[in-house]
Amino acid sequence: MSDYQTPVPADLPERIQHYIDGKFVDSAEGGTFEVLNPVTNETYIHAAAGTMADVDLAVQAARRAFETGPWPEMLPRERSRVLHRVADLVEDRGDRLAELESFDSGLPITQALGQARRAAENFRFFADLVVAQADDVYKVPGRQINYVSRKPIGVAGLITPWNTPFMLESWKLAPALAAGNSVVLKPAEFTPLSAGLWAGIFEEAGLPRGVFNLVNGLGEQAGDALVKHPDVPLISFTGESTTGQTIFANAAPALKGLSMELGGKSPAVVFADADLEAAVNATIFGVFSLNGERCTAGSRILVERSVYEEFIERYAAQAKRVKIGFPHEPGTEIGSLVHPEHFEKVMSYIEIGKQEARLVAGGGRPENFPTGNFIAPTVFADVPSDARIFQEEIFGPVVAITPFDTDEEALELANDTKYGLAAYIWTNDLKRSHNFAQSVQAGMVWLNSNNVRDLRTPFGGVKASGLGHEGGYRSLDFYTDQQAVHINLGEVHNPVFGKAD
């Protein structure tokens, strides 16, 4: 046993099970997989390893609930009441959710608490939106009325990542359920602990049996089975781009609806006229919060040359002051990375970076954390655009800083990756900020701000960062079929073929 332990949450289950048709069950074939404590890398629980058999049982239950149950036929207001109760329960259990999330993922407890609050807000938002939803009507006076009717589609397959898992599960569950669908959730195998809490929350909130189903397991087994299942018309996936390509290929034969939020290598562009203190604070938070394991991290910082050295000096000094600690400690700003496999990946990129650029902070494991998946905030300067640490998603507390001389060069550097999820622009020049935002290849742009998003706005990327958008009405668009209905109000004007003489 390691000398470095974190408190184990009370009342953990003996094992993690699937939840199918209103019951917790083991895998049909009896398989399990190990779940590791990210601070010690020791197995602390076993989880049911789902296969095609388990996915099929879950999909059958979800399909029965959709075809014969009350959920899709309920009035929006009735579904809204259930979803508001879900939000209330999530808020009431926020401390417990955060405790499990922090323990399972290595996320600092203060940041895990924020994710629990956001999960509740996601449900509250879509509970309100589905009631306020207005469908389109098009009139041709005296001749025709055309209206659009939204219908739930069926069984939605939801595949979620291991970073902020409970919150990102809520981001898919809330709109899918609000629209009247039933769901099968496949959480990430690294962090399956908190997903099981949804079962009790949904039961207490009054969600009908079979509407929510949960299958744990490895992506290449349970996730693959869910993508390929013929009775699952929709797949919403958040994860890295290579897996997204596989899902795209496997869903293609059935022409399934896909929404995929994939990887990112987002630029933060700092011009000389920016508020440097605000830019440093924002870009420190933007890449080192959530342990650097965030899709929208501004992990490439592009700085105008006239303030470049000052920025580097201030940034490196502040990165060295970021508090590394055990996830459960309130003062911790960076905890433990999620898994030893991911730790080794991030460390390998740090070693690559040492050959490609100038290391100005961090560079490996902190001295006072000899075990676990701890990495010091790592800052590379003078990073060329063809460097791997500039081009490839690292998904850890590692940042690449590069100088530029002109607006044109800054834009070229910002767009010079295969990704296009987010971008952050720091300048006090109004024309420049808007023109740059229009030209940067990113699904989301923040001007002089840091990743604060209104839930009504679209979330998604371009290029290798995703397919489609969710958020607000875009989520309801994805989780519903839109049927156009045309009504004649006047004389029928039909060309007549085969008219009798």
Residues classed as catalytic: 261
* CA gyration radius, the chain: 24
Nearest to 395 by CA among 346, 431, 352, 433: 346
Report in angstroms the alpha-carbon separations of 453 from 317, 366, 449, 460. Answer: 29, 33, 10, 12
Which helix (H) or strand (E) element contains residue 488? strand 480-488
Q: How many other CB atoms sit within 10 Å of the CB of residue 73?
A: 11
Please tell me the distance from the alpha carbon of residue 237 to that of residue 19, in angstroms, as a whole number: 20
Residue that has been written with the tokens 């875009």 in this structure: 474
Which helix (H) or strand (E) element contains residue 48? strand 43-48
Residue that has been written with the tokens 């840091």 in this structure: 450
Please tell me the distance from the alpha carbon of residue 320 to that of residue 172, in angstroms, as a whole number: 36
φ, ψ for residue 23 (rounded to 5)? -135, 145
Helix (H, G, I), strand (E, B) or coil at 122: helix
Token pair recorded at residue 96: 């417990």
Sign of CA dihedral 285, 287, 288, 290: positive
Token pair recorded at residue 98: 């955060």
Residue 208 makes CB contacts below 8 A (sequence gap 6+) with: 65, 69, 70, 71
Please tell me the distance from the alpha carbon of residue 468 to that of residue 223, in angstroms, as a whole number: 20
Residue that has been written with the tokens 């902020």 in this structure: 164
Question: CB-based burial of residue 96 (10 Å sphere; 0-12 exposed, 13-18 middle, 19+ buried)?
Answer: middle
Q: Where are the alpha helices (DSSP H) in 181-307?
A: 197-205, 224-228, 241-251, 276-288
Please tell me the distance from the alpha carbon of residue 39 to that of residue 468, in angstroms, as a whole number: 36
Write the DSSP string, 13-30: -SSB-EEETTEEE--TT-
Looking at 108-197, which runs of residues are DSSP E strands?
A: 137-140, 144-152, 155-159, 182-186
Please tell me the distance from the alpha carbon of residue 501 to that of residue 70, in angstroms, as a whole number: 55
